Amino acid sequence: MKSSSESSLSIAIDGPAGAGKSTTARMLAQELQIVYVDSGAMYRAVAWTCLHESISVDDLDAVSKAASRLDIRFAPAEGGDGVQHIVVDGHDITSEIRTPEISQLASSVSVIPAVRESLVAKQRLLGQEGGVVMEGRDIGTVVLPQADVKVFLTASLDERARRRFAEMATPAIDFATVRTDMAERDRRDSTRAVSPLTPATDAIIIDSNNMNARQVVDEILALCKQKRMQAPQVKPESEPATASPKAPLSDRRPDEYTPTYVFVRNAFRCFFAAMGGVHVYGHENIPATGPAIIAANHTSMADPPLEACAIKRPLRFFAKKELFDVPIIGGLIRKLGAFPVVRGSADRTAIRTAINVLENGELLIIFPEGMRGDGVTFGAPEKGMAMIALKAHVPIVPAFIEGTTNMLPKGVTLPRRAKLYVRFGPPIDTTAFTGKQGLDTLGPAVMDSIAKLRVEHRRG
């Protein structure tokens, strides 16, 4: 099992129906960028199969065989909205399994020992590598007894019935019936002979009666952070076994310079001075201590060293993975504080490393556009920066760079003399951006701030 960082923890969430387990697990999975396994949906998938194949839940052998043969997968919704879909034998049944009829059938099939045995085996396979949040009724006690974080999420019967009734777009039954059905479901789940609903002995019990989903998620995130801090630190997965015994910057005290970093930065300062000089504005907007993301427009390979010269604190930065395979260059950029990222993919290792860097109190430079632009228009921001900032709870300092494309035009081998400019804007408080909407709007807000810095710069 992967260990240590919040993004590689295994999280088990148990509790009765209507406690908010699914909503909580989905939000955690999105914020931590880990896999969400809805175990209850797996039992609902078996129930759905029984209903559509006319299999009686009293025919234990037929139900057990159906559970064993099903190919159950979880997939994000089309359009990347982060909603977990359940696909059974290639058929998306997400919208078909949240009915009262399926709920009752799911409760019935879940008490069949052979069904539970089949699905628990599938769930364990999904959870054994870590980096997963799984919710159900016996996750912490049976499925993932070694989970890093165990939560038993509960609420009163009335509150849970109210939530479930509110979920129904066009209720086919009244509230009293919903409450009665839920009470019966509680009774069956708590008294069944196989894996009854009960908190794990080491689970943290969270009563969500007076809490909204955001508050519940924040409490679990705090538990994850506490667990990560208690765990022994390991190197990021991208760190090769043959790396130098000297620790990378993220294992050192914040703002501790390496001799290599100082030497290379001074060399670049001399080079940039010879080319026309570096003019820095708004340096007071860089936090004197503590973590922050420096978000800048990107037009030239000279942008990262220019930022390093403009800022008085050492920087960490992403570099494309291919560079680390180049002799000399790979070792040099690693010593300068770079870490690899696979372009064009959701590189979880790079994201985890970035979060660790920020949690260590360091500065991280990110180019939100992902690729170098043309210097005329700004590209759309990728979501990686927003994801990292919201997970690490750090401010973002917008920065505008100009002049590097004049110094190193595309297609030109030798650099030309040009004045270089870096302008930093006021830090953006990322705590105002929450949930999926925050993830969608933070990136554009940062690019708007960079655009305003460009206007400010060109006005003189």
DSSP string covering 95-130, please? GGS-SHHHHHHHHHHTT-HHHHHHHHHHHHHHHTTS
Q: What is the mean pLDDT of residues 322-327?
A: 81
Query: Per-residue pLDDT for 279 more than 90?
Result: yes
Pairwise CA distance, residues 460 & 458, whole Å: 5
- Check whether residue 214 and residue 255 sit in a common domain: no
CB 360 within 8 A of CB 254: yes
- What is the CA 9 to chain-centroid distance, rounded? 12
Query: Per-residue pLDDT for 239 more than 50?
Result: no
> Per residue in 166-178, is it b (16+ CB within 10 Å) or e — as a string?
eeeeeeeeeeeeb
Q: Which residue has the higher pLDDT, 183 or 320?
A: 183
- Check whether residue 201 and residue 134 sit in a common domain: yes
Q: Which residue has the higher pLDDT, 167 or 71?
A: 71
Query: Per-residue pLDDT for 327 more than 90?
Result: no
Which amino acid does the sequence have at 31? Answer: E
For residue 119, CA distances in Å to 41, 65, 103, 192, 210 come to 11, 11, 17, 17, 33
Q: What is the residue range of 201's domain?
A: 6-230
Query: Per-residue pLDDT for 240 more than 90?
Result: no
- Check whether residue 68 and residue 114 sit in a common domain: yes
- Check whether residue 351 and residue 426 sit in a common domain: yes
pLDDT digits (tens, 9 = 90+) for 211-220: 999 999 999 9
Query: Per-residue pLDDT for 380 more than 80?
Result: yes
- The pLDDT of residue 238: 40
- Check whether residue 351 and residue 398 sit in a common domain: yes
- The pLDDT of residue 297: 93
Pairwise CA distance, residues 311 & 282, whole Å: 10
| Phi then psi dihedrals of residue 425, to 5 deg | -100, 175
The DSSP bridge partners found for residue 73 are 87
Which of 236-240, 321-325, 337-341, 411-415 has the lowest average pLDDT?
236-240
Mean pLDDT value across the chain: 83
Query: Per-residue pLDDT for 151 more than 70?
Result: yes
- Check whether residue 193 and residue 145 sit in a common domain: yes
Pairwise CA distance, residues 97 & 107, whole Å: 13
Pairing of strands 132-136, 35-38: parallel
Q: How many domains does the chain have?
A: 2
Query: Per-residue pLDDT for 181 more than 50?
Result: yes
- The pLDDT of residue 179: 92
CB 109 within 8 A of CB 47: yes
The number of residues making up the chain comes to 460
- Check whether residue 225 and residue 320 sit in a common domain: no
- The pLDDT of residue 231: 53
Q: End of a domain among 200, 230, 260?
A: 230
> Per residue in 428-456, is it b (16+ CB within 10 Å) or e — as a string?
bebeebbeeebbeebbebbbebbeebeee
The structure tokens 């019936």 sit at: 177
- Check whether residue 158 and residue 276 sit in a common domain: no
For residue 307, CA distances in Å to 80, 273, 405, 410 come to 33, 14, 14, 20
Which of 143-147, 236-240, 377-381, 401-405 has the lowest average pLDDT?
236-240
Q: End of a domain among 174, 197, 230?
A: 230
For residue 115, CA distances in Å to 120, 136, 376 come to 8, 15, 60
Q: What is the mean pLDDT of residues 330-350?
A: 75
Q: Is residue 240, in this structure, part of any structural domain at all?
A: no
CB 298 within 8 A of CB 373: yes
Q: Is residue 108, in this structure, part of any structural domain at all?
A: yes
CB 271 within 8 A of CB 323: no
The structure tokens 């408080």 sit at: 429
Query: Per-residue pLDDT for 4 more than 80?
Result: no
Query: Per-residue pLDDT for 306 more than 50?
Result: yes
CATH of the domain at 15: 3.40.50.300
- Check whether residue 263 and residue 123 sit in a common domain: no
The DSSP bridge partners found for residue 402 are 421
Pairwise CA distance, residues 15 & 197, whole Å: 7
Q: What is the mean pLDDT of residues 82-110?
A: 86
- Check whether residue 140 and residue 282 sit in a common domain: no
| Phi then psi dihedrals of residue 315, to 5 deg | -115, 150
- The pLDDT of residue 169: 65
From the list 412, 298, 417, the residue with the least C-alpha distance to 365 is 298
